[in-house]
Amino acid sequence: MFHKEGHKIIGFTLLACLLIDLLAFYFIEKLWVFQLILTATIIFYILILQFFRNPKRSTVVDEKNVVSPVDGKVVVIEEVFEKEYFKDKRLQVSVFMSPINVHVTRHPISGKVKYSKYHPGKYLVAWHPKSSEENERTTVVVENDVLGEVLYRQIAGAMAKRIVNYAKEGEEVIQGSDSGFIKFGSRVDVLLPLDANIKVSLDQKVKGGLTIIANS
């Protein structure tokens, strides 16, 4: 199954690849050159399909747990000062997504969306220390009765040129449901209360909607 954000790109890419292959078939005489072009377009199309895949995840909804919003690798676990919303210290867990990871963003907890904002910005590499403050990004805060307020931030990387955010202030959301999508490489920061019990470690691979990254 493919994410709705990729439907137009998948269709356009298919047509473009077919056109390239058709032109190569009629105008290139050397068989090996045509076969090389055909192979390249097939590989490219498969990569596009892989990027926009949207596997179904059976999230076990639990208000005591915070699940990873995305697939990827944990690259940061540290105490930081959060400037935008809380304006105090929080525990930050950051997950880096490579271009081959699933790029669907899922709600890490169930609850009410208290804050949702888009910020235009730069396209520094996702692991750059200033990317969470200077890159294109969206910030969402969800609150429930057990965990309180949890903030998560989609951050564009050097390749990502568009962030999609579905969270709307005031709506009730379910843990593990779609919250957004980041196109082509990025990072997600999760900002937790200082007393949260972190359940992941640096360099650990996590799955969006499945891996528990912290609990109360």
Ramachandran bin of 19, using left for φ above 0, alpha for ψ from -120 to 50, beta for the remaining angles = alpha
The count of structural domains within the chain is 2
Catalytic residue from among 110, 186, 201, 216: 186
Asked whether residue 97 is assigned to any structural domain, the reply reads: yes
Q: How is residue 56 written in tokens?
A: 């179904």
CA distance 32 to 61: 54
Given a cut of 60, whether residue 127 has pLDDT beyond it is no
What's the domain range around 70? 65-215
For 48-82, the pLDDT digits (tens) are 887 778 788 889 999 999 999 999 999 999 999 99
Asked whether residue 124 is assigned to any structural domain, the reply reads: yes
At 13 the three-state DSSP class reads: helix
User: What is the b/e burial string over 144-161, where b = at least 16 CB atoms within 10 angstroms of the residue's CB?
Assistant: beebebbbbbbbbbbebe
CA distance 157 to 75: 14
Annotation marks residue 132 as catalytic: no
For 192-214, the pLDDT digits (tens) are 999 999 999 999 999 999 999 99
| Beta carbons of 213 and 93 less than 8 angstroms apart | yes
Does 90 share its domain with 11?
no
| Beta carbons of 193 and 66 less than 8 angstroms apart | no
Does 104 share its domain with 81?
yes
Rg (alpha carbons) of the chain, rounded to whole number: 20
pLDDT band at 165 (very low <50, low <70, confident <90, very high): very high
Asked whether residue 40 is assigned to any structural domain, the reply reads: yes
For 1-11, the pLDDT digits (tens) are 776 776 888 88
CA distance 205 to 68: 10
Asked whether residue 119 is assigned to any structural domain, the reply reads: yes
Asked whether residue 146 is assigned to any structural domain, the reply reads: yes
pLDDT of residue 161: 59
User: Beta-carbon neighbour count of residue 41 at 10 Å?
Assistant: 19
Question: CA 93 from chain center: how many Å?
Answer: 14
Using a 10 angstrom Cβ sphere, with 0-12 exposed, 13-18 middle and 19 or more buried, the burial of residue 21 is middle
Asked whether residue 115 is assigned to any structural domain, the reply reads: yes
pLDDT of residue 54: 79
CA distance 178 to 34: 41
pLDDT band at 173 (very low <50, low <70, confident <90, very high): very high
Asked whether residue 104 is assigned to any structural domain, the reply reads: yes
Q: Which residue's entry shows tokens 């990387």? A: 157
